[in-house]
Structure 1
Amino acid sequence: MLSAYLSLSLLTLMCQLAVSLGGKVLVFPQDGSHWVNMKVLIEELHTRGHSVTVVRPVDSWYIQEVSPYYTSITIDVAAGSDEGFFRSFVSRQLQIQRHGSSFWTRLALDMEIMEKFSQVHYKTCEMVAHMLEDAGLMLALQDAGYDLLLTDPASGGGVILAHRLKLPLVFNVRWTVHGEGHFAIAPSPLSYVPVPIAKFTDRMTYAQRIRNFLMYGFRMFLYRRTVGPSYSALVTRYFGPEVDYFQLFQAADIWLMRVDFVFEFPRPTMPNVVYMGGFQCKPAKPLPQDLEDFVQSSGEHGVIIMSLGTLVGQLPSDIADEIAAVFAELPQRVIWRYTGDRPSTLGNNTLLVKWLPQNDLLGHPNVKVFVSHGGTNGIMEAIYHGVPMVGIPLVFDQADNLSRMKAKGAATVVDIGSLDRDLFLQALQAVLHEPSYRENMQKLSRLHRDQPIKPLERALFWIEFVMRHRGAAHLRTESYKMPWYSYHSLDVMMFLLAVITTFVTVFVLGVMFICTRICCKHKSKQD
C-alpha cells in the first residue's frame, strides 16, 4: 500500500514538474494551407507540455477557434483571405495562364498576384492595428508571460506583435512578405542561386544569369512597392520613424526552413537557419477499408493518385474531361480528389473523392505516380515515400517547386495552359514506364531520411532552445543593420580606389615634376 502511495506521489510530482517546465508560446499563423504545417508544430509543442495560444481573425478559414492543442484569441477583424477569396483568385490565375505563356502573360500573373497580396497584407495590418489599439488585450498578452512568438512570415503581423511584446521570434518559413526566405537573410549570389520564379537550376547559362538578375530586381521592386508600404506605415505609426520593419523582420532569432538540400539547390545559408524539410511527413497508416479494397483491386498495374491541393478541388470542365479521358485509357486504378461535377469522360477505373489521406496513400506500395499541383507539403511527402510525380503547377511557388523535381529527374511537368489529352498521356506514360523517375525519387527519399535526427525533433529542439535562452542572438548576424553600400563593401572599395588614385596621381605628378626639373637643368647647362 505504501509502495503504491509512493508511486502515485512520484507520478504526480513528475507531472507537476513537466507542467512547470513547459513554456508558453504565442502563435501568429498564416491561414490556408500554411496552417497545415504550423498545426504540426503546435500539436508537438502541446505533446511536450507547452502551453500554446493562437491568434486568429474572426473570418479564419482553417484555424479552429476551439482545439485541444491550443487556446485561441479571436480578433474581431476580417482578414479578407477566406476560402472564397482564394478560390476566386486561383480561378482567375487559371484563366490568365490558359490565355498563353508569353512574357506578357507572366507579367499579368505577377501584377495580379502582387495586387491580391497587397490587399491581404493591408487587411493583416488592420488586424494588428486593432490589437495594438486594444489596451486590455495588450496588457493581457504582456501579463501572460510568453516565452516566444512563433509565426509564419508569409504574413508580417507576427513580427510587429513580437516587437511590441519584446518576445524572441521564431519563423516557420519558406516564403516571407518579401519573397523566398533565404533571399531575406542569407547571401544569395545571383550567378548560381536561382530566383524562384525563374525556374532555373544552380547551373545557369550566361543568358539565364541575365534573366535571373533582372527577375530578382523586378520582383524586389514589386514586393517593396505593393507589400512594404502597409507594414512600414504600421511600424512608423506605433514605433516611430526610426524603426524599420525590414530590420525587425530580419532580426528573428531562428528561421525554421520548410525545405532541405535534397529539395533545395546548394546555396549559402546562415547559422540561425534550421532546415526541417519533411517535418510533417510520417510513416503511412493503414488505409480505410474501402480505399484499401480499391487499391488492392489494381493488381500488378498499381494506382495513380491525383490531388491539386486544398485550393483547387475542381477544374474547368474541358480540362477535367481531358484528364479523365486519359485516366480511362490506363490499366491503373486512379484515386482523384475532385469536388466538381463528374467529368463526362470518367472511366470505371477512376474513383472521385472529396478528401484523401494523401500521406497514407503515398506510403502504400501499390501507388505508382502522384499527380500534383506542386505544393511544398505534397512534394516533401512524395520525396519521403519515394513516389515519382507528374506536376500540373497552378499558382504561387508551385512551378518553381516542380521545376526542381524535374531537374532532379523525379518528375515531369505539364503546363495547365497547354494541357490536352496527348500531353497529359505522354507525361503519365513517361513516369509509369521509365524506371529512372522512380529510381531518382527513391534516391532522394534515401538521402532525405538519412539524418541523425528527425526534422520535427530538430525544429522542436530549436524552439525550446529559444525558450531556454530567451533568444539566439549569438547565431544572428547584425549585417542587416548595415546600409547596402556597406554590406557590399562599396564604401571600402571607393576609399581604396581613392587612395590608389591619389597615390598614382601623386606618383605621376612627382615623376613629371622631376622630369621637368631635369629637362630644365639640362637646358640651362646647354645655354
Structure 2
Amino acid sequence: EIERFINEAEYGVIYMNLGSTVKDSTLPTEKLNDLLSTFRKLPMRVLWKWDGGVISNLPRNVMTLRWFPQYDILKHENVKAFITHAGILSTIEAIDAGIPVVAIPLFGDQYGNAAALRDIGVASIVEYRDLRKEFLLDAINEILEPKIQQQAKLVSRLWHDRPMSALETAIYWTEYVARYHGAPNLAATSLQKPWYQQLQLDVLAFVALVAYILTKVLCKIISVCCCSCCGNDDKRTYNEERRTKRVKFE
C-alpha cells in the first residue's frame, strides 16, 4: 500500500516524521491546522508518521500511519524531501539516502544536527515557534529546488565513498582488537601517566605558583611606591614647617 502510494505520486512524495519521543498528537491545534493547510497546498503526496487518532480534515494527498519503514522510504527515487526533527539517526539516514531536509528541531542535539545539515547545503530550518503555513511552505519550496536536490545527492556520494562500508569497518576493527588482545598499541598514552598528570594538577600548580609570585612582586612594587610617596610628603611637610618657623623667628 505504501509503495503504491509512492509510485503513483505524479509530483513526488514528502516524508514527515518528528521522531518517537515527541508525540505529534500533542501538537497545539493551531500548529496542526497549519501543517494540514500546508499539505493541502502541495501538489505532492505526503507520508506522515502520525501517532494520534483519525484526523477529520485530512487532505486527500496525505497518508498517515503509526509507523513507516523510514529508511526504505527515503531510499525510494520518488521521495523528494524529508520533514524531520533532525535526530541523529534521521540525520544519518537522510544523508545516506541523499534526501534534502526541512528540519524542525525540538530539543537536545537536534539543533546542532539541523545546523550541520544546513551548513552543507541540504536543509532548511523551521523553528518550532515559527511552525506556520507560510514558513513551512517556503522551506519546502527551498529544498525542492534542483540545486539543493543535487547537493543532497553529492553529499550522499561523498558519504558512501570510503574504502570499506561502515559494517565492514566495524567488523575489521572488532577483529583487530580481538587478534591483539585488546590492542594496547591503540590505547591513549595518557592512560600511562600518573593520576595527577591526567588531572593536570601539575599544570595547575605551576600556574598557581606563577600567579603567586607575580602577585607578591606586584604587591612589593606597590608598597615601595607608596612608601616613596609617603616619604616625599613627609619631607615636604618637614621643609614647610622649618620655613614657617624661620619666618616667625625673623
Q: Distance in 2 between matches of 1:341 and 1:413?
A: 28
CA change 1:336–1:400 in 2 (3 A) is: same
Q: Distance in 1 between matches of 2:87 and 2:64?
A: 21
Match of 1:323 in 2: 35
C-alpha displacement of 1:378: 1.2
CA change 1:470–1:320 in 2 (3 A) is: farther
Q: Distance in 2 between matches of 1:492 and 1:460?
A: 45
Instruction: Find 2:172's aligned residue among 439, 461, 467.
Output: 461
C-alpha displacement of 1:308: 1.3
Match of 1:436 in 2: 147
Match of 1:383 in 2: 95
CA change 1:341–1:325 in 2 (3 A) is: farther
Q: Which structure would you say has the larger Rg?
A: 2
Contact 1:328 1:345 in 2 (8 A): no
Q: Distance in 2 between matches of 1:309 and 1:461?
A: 32
Q: Distance in 1 between matches of 2:125 and 2:166?
A: 28
Amino acid at match of 1:398: Q
Q: Distance in 1 between matches of 2:169 and 2:201?
A: 35
Q: Distance in 2 between matches of 1:312 and 1:350?
A: 20
- Counting only pairs closer than 5 Å after superposition, residues 22-61 of structure 1 correspond to structure 2 as none
Amino acid at match of 1:447: L
Contact 1:389 1:410 in 2 (8 A): yes
Instruction: Find 1:485's aligned residue among 200, 221, 241.
Output: 200
CA offsets 1:414-471 (integer angstroms, 9 cap, x no match) = 1112311111111111112x22221221111111110010111111222222223231
Instruction: Find 1:399's aligned residue among 100, 104, 111.
Output: 111
Instruction: Find 1:308's aligned residue among 18, 38, 44.
Output: 18
Q: Distance in 2 between matches of 1:423 and 1:471?
A: 52
Match of 1:474 in 2: 185
Q: Distance in 1 between matches of 2:59 and 2:120?
A: 33
Instruction: Establish whether residue 446 from structure 1 lines up as the match of residue 157 from structure 2.
Output: yes
Contact 1:317 1:343 in 2 (8 A): no
- Counting only pairs closer than 5 Å after superposition, residues 181-330 of structure 1 correspond to structure 2 as 290-299=1-10, 301-314=11-24, 315-318=26-29, 319-330=31-42
Instruction: Establish whether residue 358 from structure 1 lines up as the match of residue 73 from structure 2.
Output: no
Instruction: Find 1:336's aligned residue among 27, 36, 48.
Output: 48
Return the TM-score normalized by structure 2. Answer: 0.75
C-alpha displacement of 1:367: 0.4
Contact 1:325 1:346 in 2 (8 A): no
Q: Distance in 2 between matches of 1:436 and 1:362?
A: 19
Q: Distance in 1 between matches of 2:12 and 2:179?
A: 49
Q: Distance in 2 between matches of 1:492 and 1:366?
A: 63
Amino acid at match of 2:19: G
CA offsets 1:259-287 (integer angstroms, 9 cap, x no match) = xxxxxxxxxxxxxxxxxxxxxxxxxxxxx
Instruction: Find 2:135's aligned residue among 416, 419, 423.
Output: 423
Contact 1:324 1:343 in 2 (8 A): no
CA change 1:337–1:354 in 2 (3 A) is: same
Matched residues, number: 206
Q: Distance in 1 between matches of 2:129 and 2:80?
A: 25
Q: Distance in 2 between matches of 1:486 and 1:396?
A: 33
Q: Distance in 2 between matches of 1:344 and 1:302?
A: 24
Q: Distance in 2 between matches of 1:360 and 1:373?
A: 18
CA offsets 1:501-524 (integer angstroms, 9 cap, x no match) = 9xxxxxxxxxxxxxxxxxxxxxxx
CA offsets 1:115-155 (integer angstroms, 9 cap, x no match) = xxxxxxxxxxxxxxxxxxxxxxxxxxxxxxxxxxxxxxxxx
Match of 1:346 in 2: 58
- Counting only pairs closer than 5 Å after superposition, residues 69-148 of structure 1 correspond to structure 2 as none
C-alpha displacement of 1:337: 0.6
CA offsets 1:165-192 (integer angstroms, 9 cap, x no match) = xxxxxxxxxxxxxxxxxxxxxxxxxxxx
Secondary structure at 2:105's aligned position in 1? Answer: coil
Secondary structure at 1:464's aligned position in 2? Answer: helix
Match of 1:410 in 2: 122
Q: Distance in 1 between matches of 2:32 and 2:140?
A: 16
CA offsets 1:302-350 (integer angstroms, 9 cap, x no match) = 0000111222342414222211210111000000010113345421000
Amino acid at match of 1:362: L
Secondary structure at 1:417's aligned position in 2? Answer: helix
Secondary structure at 2:107's aligned position in 1? Answer: coil
Q: Distance in 2 between matches of 1:382 and 1:317?
A: 27
Contact 1:320 1:343 in 2 (8 A): no
RMSD: 2.3
CA offsets 1:236-278 (integer angstroms, 9 cap, x no match) = xxxxxxxxxxxxxxxxxxxxxxxxxxxxxxxxxxxxxxxxxxx
CA offsets 1:220-245 (integer angstroms, 9 cap, x no match) = xxxxxxxxxxxxxxxxxxxxxxxxxx
Unaligned runs of 5+ in 2: 215-250
Q: Distance in 2 between matches of 1:461 and 1:467?
A: 10
Q: Percent identity?
A: 34
Contact 1:339 1:354 in 2 (8 A): yes
Amino acid at match of 2:41: E
Q: Distance in 2 between matches of 1:479 and 1:345?
A: 62
C-alpha displacement of 1:486: 5.5
C-alpha displacement of 1:472: 2.5
CA change 1:297–1:334 in 2 (3 A) is: same
Amino acid at match of 1:339: D
Match of 1:368 in 2: 80
Contact 1:321 1:343 in 2 (8 A): no
